[in-house]
Amino acid sequence: MPTNVAQSGNTANAVTITWTDGAAGTPTERYNVECKIYQASWSSTTMASVTGILRGTQSASVPVNPGTLYTCYVAAYDPAATPAYNPVVSTGIVVSYQNSGTCTGRDLLDPTSYGAPRRCDTAGATREQAEQFEEDQIAVFGKPVSRMTNADIDSNGVLNNFAATVPVCWYLCQATQTLTDSRLAQQLTVMNNAYASAGISFSQLRKLNCRNDRGSGTSSTGYTQWMANLGSNSNIDSGWSYLNSLTSTLGWNDCVTIYSGDWEGTGLLGIAQLGLNTYTMQYNYPTTFPGTGSVSPYNLGATMVHETGHNFSLDHVFNQGCSGLGDGVADTPNGNTNYGCPVGQDSCPSSPGKDAINNFMDYTNDCCMNYFSPQQALAMQANIQSRKPSWVTTPAGSRR
């Protein structure tokens, strides 16, 4: 039986899978390497594969699509046996295709065009927050997502049965407004693509432009007040405290409130409330939105994807570095903070797996980010279903 199945690297459009097989086989035995698209049903036949590999071969390069998460298996079979195809299949491994092919030129390994590395000011979960997130996960799935195996996910079909639509409220406050309806729509398209594998979609509920529309019940707001209340750009704590209070003043408890305006902090691209609550908010620097955003390599909309992951309870994948279950899920390898798109980076060689540089919850360039892990998706589903059940159209764990 093939064992020690591992991902050993990528080429432009393929992942390399290695394995060992210590069992004595028949001389005619062959291997197939099959990679199912993770987001699809586990019973799906949609997969990338190479077949008929001679016995003795211990690696294969499987053609895959960029930006897609796969689960790969190695199947040993004897084509001369009866029945003809009766494979012995290895344990599956989750494979992320590291999308370096579309992450080139100025974007790759070069955060300097913005002048500073990505900075998100969201702090890691407190012990109390982590416990609450786990309690929500137990309520929805019967156990913390970090203890769910692929078999749990497979047998319950939980990853693919969830659907929710998250209302988004924009609060836009720039001296010169750059976030057009077109750019907001492009940002929501980026969001819907990024969260499709988790069954989460987004739609605009309302929009307020502080320059000309204060909205009902918001007489204390407006551009002058916004700038005054945020205080010094470098004092992120006081500005963030103001945005917390503004959200309750607005009364926007039926959406995730997205603030974007003249408030950068010192290189701050975004900050978010960790986990959904009565009022849920985040701040994104306007030029991180797709369209004509100028903070390359952070101008493709991944900042809102990242901050919204925080809103749905996710920590940074590099939280606590090489020690422990830093981000509360077990399927993002331990690692340190990464910038650019350092393919193959392995910050914690004594821990399994290479850094999750393509994960939306690292600090890499927008074009380098392309997936949430299965357990991250489940954690977000549990947070939404527990805290905002009215947004859920198909509950997690149900059969469709």
Residues of this chain that bind Zn ion (CB under 5 A) = 120, 122
Taken in order 338, 349, 309, 369, the sign of the CA dihedral is positive
Distance (Å, rounded) from C-alpha 354 to C-alpha 346?
A: 5
For residue 72, the minimal CB distance to Zn ion (Å) is 29
| DSSP symbols for 309-344 | HHHTTPPPTTTTTTSSSTTS-SSS-------S--TT
The residue among 53 and 369 lying less far from Zn ion, judged by its C-beta, is 369
The residue among 74 and 269 lying less far from Zn ion, judged by its C-beta, is 269
For residue 1, the minimal CB distance to Zn ion (Å) is 41
307 is catalytic: yes
| DSSP symbols for 28-77 | T-EEEEEEEETTS-TT---EEEEEEEETT--EEEEE--TT-EEEEEEEEE
Q: What is the DSSP letter of 282?
A: E
For residue 93, the minimal CB distance to Zn ion (Å) is 27
For residue 120, the minimal CB distance to Zn ion (Å) is 3
Distance (Å, rounded) from C-alpha 355 to C-alpha 296?
A: 23
Distance (Å, rounded) from C-alpha 105 to C-alpha 69?
A: 24
Strands 69-77 and 88-89: antiparallel
Residues 176 and 142 sit within 8 Å (Cβ to Cβ): no
The residue among 162 and 312 lying less far from Zn ion, judged by its C-beta, is 312
Rg over CA atoms, the chain: 23
- Catalytic annotation, pick one of 29, 34, 134, 307: 307
For residue 310, the minimal CB distance to Zn ion (Å) is 6
Place of tokens 């992942």: 15
The residue among 122 and 358 lying less far from Zn ion, judged by its C-beta, is 122
- Whole-number Cα distances in Å, 383 to 116, 164, 201, 202: 32, 11, 15, 16
Residues 137 and 379 sit within 8 Å (Cβ to Cβ): yes
The residue among 148 and 302 lying less far from Zn ion, judged by its C-beta, is 302
Cα–Cα–Cα angle for 255, 256, 257, rounded to 5 degrees: 105
Amino acid type, 334: N
Helix (H) / strand (E) element for 128: namely helix 127-141
Region for residue 265 given its phi and psi (left: phi exceeds 0; alpha: psi -120 to 50; beta: otherwise): left
Angle (deg, nearest 10), helices 127-141 and 374-387: 90
Q: What is the DSSP letter of 171?
A: E
Q: Point out the residue whose Cβ comes nearest to Zn ion.
A: 120
For residue 115, the minimal CB distance to Zn ion (Å) is 19
For residue 289, the minimal CB distance to Zn ion (Å) is 17
The residue among 74 and 120 lying less far from Zn ion, judged by its C-beta, is 120
For residue 2, the minimal CB distance to Zn ion (Å) is 38
Catalytic residues: 307
